[in-house]
Amino acid sequence: MMQESQTKTKSVALTKFLVRYSKLITFFLVVIIIFSSYFFIIGPKYESVNLGGQYSLDTLTQERDQRQNYLADLKALVARYQQISQADIVRLEKTLPLKKDVASLFVQFQALAEKHQFRLLSVNIDDAIDRTAATTAAAGVQQLNVSLNLAGGSYVNLKEFLASIESNLRLFDINAVYFSPDSSSYSMNLFTYYLN
């Protein structure tokens, strides 16, 4: 019981102290808030402007010039994009298709073989797994490994066939050609590409 009365007495004394000195306590709190806001908010901003920091005129002018150059580059890019015709887009898709399009490859190789008096014996197409494919895969370009076996034709026909592959609209890189002078069968490995 005595402890309760002492607790109430302390509570009443604290309340009287706070009421009596409330104006003085409020004044000190306001002064502390003003000084702390100056040192933590206004002061660093003032120093960054005054000492030539991120808000200096030279820095802002340089950033404005960079953004104007970037905007000019974007406008030039948009103008070049708008000049691309639908025919150019179709041609580009044939050069570097958006998918593997294996069926189209079979048709192209069959047509080229017949054009140069060859029989297409076999075509093997699989994803190339090597270091160069891993580096191009990062850019979104995937590589296919193609193995062809042909029969018939002559050496001249083979040269014309290779020239047709090199000048084909679709990208092909001839990796190796295997033949024997006494045989009429030819094998070759080549790469083609597509966008993933």
Q: What is the mean pLDDT of residues 34-47?
A: 82
pLDDT band at 53 (very low <50, low <70, confident <90, very high): low
Q: How remote is the C-alpha of 119 from its chain's centroid? A: 43
CA dihedral for 18, 22, 28, 31, sign (positive or negative): positive
Domains of the chain: 2-77 (no CATH), 94-195 (3.30.70.60)
Supply φ then ψ for residue 157, to 5 degrees: -60, -40
Tens of pLDDT, residue by residue over 102-142, are 888 888 889 999 999 999 999 998 886 554 545 544 567 88
- What pLDDT was estimated at residue 72? 95
What's the confidence (pLDDT) of residue 133?
Answer: 47
pLDDT given for residue 71 in this prediction = 94
pLDDT in tens, 59-105: 778 889 999 999 999 999 999 888 888 787 777 776 777 777 788 88
Q: How far apart are CA 43 and CA 36, in angstroms?
A: 10
